[in-house]
Amino acid sequence: MKTRSITAAMVLLAIVFVSCGVKKPADNDGHSLWLGYSSERDNSGAVGVGDLSRNGVKIALEELNGYLKDNPVSEIKSWRCGLLNEKDPKLGDEGFRIVFSEDGDVNIRANYDAGVLYGAYHFIRLCRNKELKPGVIEEVPAFQYRILNHWDNPNGTVERGYAGKSLWKWNELPGTIRPEYEEYARANASVGINGTVLNNVNADPRMLSAEYLQKVKILADIFRPYGIKVYLSLNFAAPKHNGLKTSDPLDKDVINWWKDKVEEIYSIIPDFGGFLVKANSEGQSGPQDYGRTHADGANMLADALKPYGGIVMWRAFVYASTSPDRAKQAVEEFLPLDGQFRDNVIIQIKNGPVDFQPREPFSPLFGQLEKTNVMAEFQITQEYMGHSNHMVYLHPMWKECLDSDTYQKGEGSTVAAITEGKIHANNISAIAGVTNIGDSVNWCGHHLAQANWYAFGRMAWNPEISSEQIVDEWLRQTFTDNKAFLNAVEGMMLASHEASVSYEMPLGLHHCFAGAGHYGPGPWEGASRPDWSPRYYHKASADGVGFDRTSETGTDAVSQYHEPLKSLYDDVKTCPDELLLWFHHLPWDYRMKSGNTLWDELCYKFESGIKLARGFIDTWESVEKYVDNHRYSQIHDKLVRQAKDAIWWRDAMILYFQTFSGMEIPADCTPPQHTLDELRNFRLRISNYETPALDVLPEYTLSD
């Protein structure tokens, strides 16, 4: 169960501020997220299961009435919302129109319930952000499917989850229904998310059992009025787990097994969304086990779902130790199958070609498939960026990917345009985010990590919104609209992704972690290529560092990108500095554009990351009076841990690489606080998926 406690120290701090004449905001445990107001329904404490009267229009009225009752807006004289008498094709299934007249009359209309609800949330957002002005607003979501991927397991654990246990209490369902389920649905609907995959892509076959489908039904019933469909990750070997001799997708008995299973699912959940599939990757079963292709496996499932309107999201995250370059394998496996997938299959592609690294080039697969639906998969949970200990606002990284031009059909063929269906004749468009949500009181483990959940929803609705606008919206709704607070904290959060890259793996370095935890540095681990370990990626040696993916001497991964990108990345003189060591292996004394040697540039990059992380503490301390004691204290502790971890990263990376470069650390960089042997010993104690406890991490002193 969640606990909400306020420490004696926080109470004392509040007394001190009152005595100094500064009125602190009331303590806030973060559970209300950015929805810092009550709807009319919130007061009832009921959960909408089996209530046929619940629909988007009714919820929209509850939200408007609840907000405007407690937060009257002088410009608004009356409001109403509902369905259009005649459907407007411009608005589609989820779009809305808001008419706000000079007289103060608000009219929200849409073709369907979901659009009315999204319109109400948008109008409330305008009110809260003080952006209300007379006129007509029409909005339609860019992506048809805007989906969260939960990596939650039936036993309550969450793979890559850093915010407690799973939100879904499978052992209690269907009997016990927690209020968090409807709170979750409300939060998602408020930012336009319309689907959720409930379970881990490393799927447990039990999730498709009759027992678990009854549990899933309860969640589907709660989510439905909020316009949210449920999806399930499946284990491709499920037929074998249920008595068949094979799971071959071309076997008639297997085909019939899946048809029967899909029919069973839709008899229980009539609006079930479909399946997410991880196959033939990281040991998961798939069609290649039987000599079949990804298309064979995906199409067998798609055919079973087609009569019910369901879709298959087939992940392109594949790799094997036999590939000379893991970054190339997705294109190698999926490009030959282009045009062979059913129209209700969509290939789900990670933003980068390796694995959610702090910085990667966009996956070249986005620019290769022309006859196949494709979607982007982003990671909201911070697997490689400090878990829930580090403050990293991720939208700038996601937008960097979506705005990247693939040049597939000439200039303007951006990842966003391709996945939205603007370049090819896509049947469906979608975007997915691996969620950072758990059962912690504040949902995300770090109060500021809530911004990434919010940002994903806003981006999925409209990928053209800037990082600045999204973080400004979120801060105003979650904390305060005080300008001094906003200017300081927005700047801090907007700088956080670049800081994370700088203190972890700058200049195109990647996957310098080790062990299953992916928390701290371990560049010394793993000598053999099949292990996919740090030394495979950075290839540090006496002659230099970096992965050679050039056309002349490397793996020729550059050729998976269209011109002019292929030549841009291939030439060390034109390759962007931020991706230099992703595509090139260079000597330690290579002269950078800045005039520094590569070695010195690395040292300075790590140093800049430390300074930024240390500065985040100063920034946060400067806005203390605007933040309640509870959140202020918890965020401050996290920022201190982040700054110390930044030093850990710098020390480990530089001391290890120095054993090859033999070069001195620049005099204007701060000296390491631990030896390389000490850091190796710390790293060896971190091996599992959980965030390591503080007592197994190196302790550092933060100097002013």
Output the CA angle 306-310-313, nearest 5 degrees.
110
Q: What is the DSSP string of 387-456?
A: TTTS----HHHHHHHHT-B--BTBTT-BHHHHHHTSSS--S--EEEEE----SSTTSSSSGGGHHHHHHH
Residue 183 catalytic? no
- Beta strand spans in 183-258 (E): 195-197, 229-234
CA 283 to chain centre: 23
Amino acid at 258: W
Which three-class secondary structure state does DSSP give residue 196?
strand
Task: Please tell me which residue in 282, 543, 589, 699 is annotated as part of the active site.
Answer: 282
Collapse the DSSP code of 137 into the 3-class scheme (helix H, G, I; strand E, B; otherwise coil) and give the result: strand
Answer yes or no: are the C-beta atoms of 292 and 249 closer than 8 Å.
yes
CA atoms of 576 and 68, how far apart (whole Å): 50
The 3-state DSSP class for residue 276 equals strand
**For 112, which DSSP code?**
S
Contact 349, 356 (CB under 8 A): no
Q: Are 236 and 287 in contact (CB under 8 A)?
A: yes
Q: Which residues pair with 350 in a beta bridge?
A: 377
Instruction: Spot the catalytic one: 355, 472, 548, 607.
Output: 355
Tokens 């740090």 sit on residue: 534
Catalytic residue among 42, 62, 113, 383: 383
d(CA 634, CA 485): 17
Distance CA 447, CA 634 (A): 8
Burial of 594 (0-12, 13-18, 19+ CB in 10 A): exposed
For 328, phi and psi rounded to 5 degrees? -95, -15
* CA dihedral sign, ordered 498, 501, 502, 504: positive
Nearest C-alpha neighbor of 222 from the set 191, 257, 187: 187
Residue with tokens 């928390």: 519
Question: How far is 481 from 624, CA to CA, in rounded Å?
Answer: 14
135-139 sheet: strands from edge to edge: 78-83, 105-110, 96-100, 135-139
d(CA 505, CA 653): 9
Q: Is the Cα dihedral 303, 305, 310, 316 positive or negative?
A: negative
Q: Which two tokens stand for residue 277?
A: 């599939």
Tokens 């300074």 locate to 611
Q: Identify whether the C-beta of residue 526 lies closer than 8 Å to the C-beta of residue 516.
A: no
Q: Give the C-alpha separation, 137 to 125, whole Å.
A: 13
Which H or E run contains 379? strand 373-379
172: annotated active-site residue: no
Q: How far apart are CA 580 and CA 662, in angstroms?
A: 21
Q: Please count the helices (runs of H) and the strands (runs of E) in the chain.
A: 20, 12
Q: Based on the residue annotation, tell me whether 282 is a catalytic residue of this protein.
A: yes
Element (H, E) at 126: helix 113-128
Dihedral angle of Cα 527, 533, 535, 536, to the nearest 10 degrees = 90
CA dist list (Å): 485 to 472, 619, 648: 11, 9, 30
Structure tokens at 233: 């990750």
Tokens 């909005």 found at:
139
Catalytic residues: 282, 355, 383
